[in-house]
Chains A and B, each alone.
Chain A
Amino acid sequence: MSTYSITEPSRGQKWVAGMLVVTYAIITLMPLVWIILTGFKSPADSIAYPPVVMFEPTVEGYVNLFTTRTRVTAEQLAALPPPDGLAETIVRDRGMVIAGASKFGERFLNSVIIGFGSTFLSIVLGTLAAYAFSRFKVPLKDDLMFFILSTRMMPPIAVAIPIFLMYRSLGLSDTHLGMILLYTGVNISLAVWLLKGFIDEIPREYEEAALIDGYTRFQAFYKVVLPQAATGIASTAIFCLIFAWNEYAFAVLLTSGNAQTAPPFIPTIIGVGGQDWPAVAAGATIFLLPVMIFTILLRKHLLRGITFGAVRK
């Protein structure tokens, strides 16, 4: 800036502010860095005192995360054919053999199916409803915000009681469909609210021109409004996906085996004498990394979503 401005902070001020923020950021990121590091530590390194930052990396945590193992005697081990691959070698060094795959892959896949399924459904239904709320006269339109707020005041456990009973009688408990519908039901109010904000910003004249050109309402919606709302739809989708991805209370209460997602599963990974921390950290890394990357890529659209559209920038 060439001209002097009385509102621009001085260089010294900027420097101090920058140092303080960077210090906070480093402290706040330490637990996350520790998760990623612990995933590559051996069990001994993970519980070393003082905590080690420099260590010899191993994928033992990842191997333990994806496999179940059984202990064998030294003679049995010696009688086995030479190890096939890195995973087998690591496990045999501990005097064990791989017995099979763990449940982590399945649980992770459940998270993907339920996360993407409910996001897709929320977005399809949410966009349609948001369009109608934005363009047509719908009764009770103004009460929507308060309704959204109020459905979120109920602790999930409270809603879980009747849903548990309802799902049991409908045969939906512990199914993918049941969880997809549940997460869609929880997400849809946010989705409609955010999407309505985005669609409100698209000038009505665009569609009205299309209608005059002979488009039907559906065509006008599909060919004119949807492309315009694409960015808004994408950022809303990310929010629905992150909610479904992170959700724990419903998952832990309503699923047990078949449709259980990763958040209730990761804390239950245990090894000898308590939790197998390198394996837990490996699972957490695989589970958290996609969200971290999304957050960094989509930082510009963050604010509107997390504040229910109350803050628009």
Chain B
Amino acid sequence: MSDTPIMRAAAATPPKLSRRIKGLSDRTIAWIFVGPTIFLLLAINIFPLIWTIRLSFTNFKANSPNREVEWVGLRNYQRILTDPDIWLTMQATAHFLFWTLLLQVVIGFSLAWLINRKFKGNDLWTTLIVLPMMLSPAVVGNFWKFLYQPQIGLFNYVVSWVSCHPPAGWLLNCIDPSSFEMIGSVNLAPWSIVIVDTWMWTPFVMLICLAGLRSIPDYIYEAAAIDRASKWRQFWTITLPMVLPFLMLAVLFRGIENFKMFDLVVQLTGGGPGSTTEVTSITLKREAFEKWRTGYASAYAIILFVTVFGLASIYVKALNKVKER
């Protein structure tokens, strides 16, 4: 293609000349093309952020806009950082982050590794596994509430069935399906969310790991096999290090998303029972749209934003180091 006379002429034309050839200048076109997008980004992303920062220093209440707004300085921030309840919700969020990421990485990587054995029909099964991730978390989360019903729910029934039949039956006592309540009990409610989130987002980690595994060229394994490296050794010295950057990328995306987990929690537990599953987004929603403490909620939002931003920046630095290796 690149050898036609036109192509050669085009390649030889200096960019300055081609720019002057016809119509508006490139500079003008660039601004016309980029302008609307920049405007929208400013209006929907940047402007609200600045407004939130401003509100965070006031005692503004969005449900009574005519009330006089006082400038309270850093008092909102001070109150949040010294509030033990806030630290509890931070802990709940950290708990979710830890368990969802751990489970998704372990299961996701294992699945990708298995799919990469290239068995017949792996394409079809991969697509089917990916389905939960593409669906609306609110709609699906709501239905999981039905699956978690004590007596009639499918989840409880399946758990009970598995526990009563071999091989699990040899190890466990038979569990009655109405003997446990995933959503209503303080101990199990956090796990009800971890399970649904893992169900939904493991495919995401799996897809990225799969891309990583497929990027490893065969000749590396061939060379290792000629050097008589065992399969086990190949896995630890070739497969894992080469997939690690991909895995870390998946963890970054999932970490950011799960830090602001909202849809699933609202639908499944609504933060309850008590406040056992009250993650940061739920607190934020309660403060901003139920108690209408807009200033306080804004300060909390900024604290969360700075936290994620800081953690993500450190993480991206680590990721780049791993990539360079």
Residues of A within 8 A of B (CB): 6-9, 13-15, 17-18, 20-22, 24-25, 28-32, 34-35, 38, 47-51, 125-126, 128-129, 131-133, 135-138, 149-166, 181-182, 184-186, 188-189, 192, 203, 205, 208-209, 211-218, 242, 245-246, 248-249, 252-253, 262-264, 266-267, 275, 277, 280-281, 283-284, 287-288, 291-292, 294-296, 299, 302-303, 306-308, 310-311, 313
Contact = CB atoms under 8 A, between A and B. Distances in A.
Interface in B207-248: 207-208, 211, 214, 218, 221-222, 225, 246
Given A288-B135, A313-B211, A185 B118 contact: no
B78 to A, nearest CB: 19
Contacts of A277: 146
Interface stretch (B33-41, B165-173, B181-189): B33-41
Contact of B62 (A154, A164, A208, A242): A164
Given A133-B34, A162-B48, A248-B263, A284 B140 contact: yes
Contact of B33 (A48, A132, A188): A132
B106 interface: no
Nearest to A296: B127
A47 B118 CA distance: 41
Contacts of B127: 295-296, 299
A218 B23 contact: yes
Given A6-B222, A246-B137, A213 B30 contact: no
Interface in B44-99: 44-45, 47-49, 51-52, 55, 62
B287 to A, nearest CB: 9
B128 A29 contact: yes
A243 to B, nearest CB: 10
B317 to A, nearest CB: 12
A264 B138 contact: yes
Given A157-B285, A267-B142, A303-B207, A185 B131 contact: no
A226 B260 CA distance: 36
A151 B117 CA distance: 38
Q: Output the residue of B208, B260, B267 with the most chain A CB within 10 A.
A: B260
Interface residue SS majority, chain A: helix
Interface residues of B, number: 112
Contact of A248 (B45, B137, B145): B137
A21 B119 contact: yes
B7 A22 contact: no
B109 interface: no
Contacts of B122: 18, 21
A185 B117 contact: no
A213 B255 CA distance: 51
Contact of B135 (A133, A246, A267): A246
Q: Output the residue of B6, B29, B129, B134 with the most chain A CB within 10 A.
A: B134
A182 B288 CA distance: 19
21 contacts: A7-B221, A14-B120, A18-B117, A31-B154, A34-B143, A38-B146, A136-B27, A158-B298, A166-B47, A166-B51, A181-B43, A188-B41, A205-B11, A209-B10, A214-B22, A242-B134, A248-B138, A252-B266, A266-B139, A303-B208, A307-B208
A126 B10 contact: no
B37 A129 contact: yes
A182 B281 CA distance: 19
A267 B221 contact: no
Given A129-B34, A264-B138, A267-B267, A51 B312 contact: no
Contacts of A263: 136, 138-139, 263
B320 interface: no
